Amino acid sequence: MEMHEYIPVDIFCRQHGVELAVISSLQSYGLIEILRVNEIEYVEQNHLAEAEKVVRLYSELNINPEGIDAIVNLLQRIKEMQSEIQFLKNRLNLYED
């Protein structure tokens, strides 16, 4: 495991001005992925953008974890629907030409 691909949770919390308990709460809802190695918790760099988005929803907009879970699920559904619409548009263009 290369350590430059992981950010310690305590540093992440300091940078974003949240407590460790917030991260634990968000993790329990499956909103943030945390990796534990030798009793130290890390956020994988690949999941950093998503973790930052979730923390901003929690801290800046005061949305509770249940609300964030609903928002994340709705955003995922919108993304899937946009992808399906684009696929259908491309398919329709084949028949229109």
Q: Any idea where the domains of the chain sit in the sequence?
A: 3-96
C-alpha–C-alpha distance, residues 43 and 5, integer Å: 9
Q: What is the pLDDT along the chain (97 residues), one digit of tens a residue?
A: 455 689 999 999 999 999 999 999 999 999 999 999 898 999 999 999 999 999 999 999 999 999 999 999 999 999 999 999 999 999 999 888 6
Architecture of domain 3-96: Orthogonal Bundle (1.10)
Nearest Cα residue to 13 out of 30, 28, 32, 29: 32
Backbone angles phi, psi at 37, to 5 degrees: -130, 120
pTM of the model: 0.78
Nearest Cα residue to 65 out of 33, 28, 35, 34: 28
| Per-residue confidence (pLDDT) for residue 59, from 0 to 100 | 92
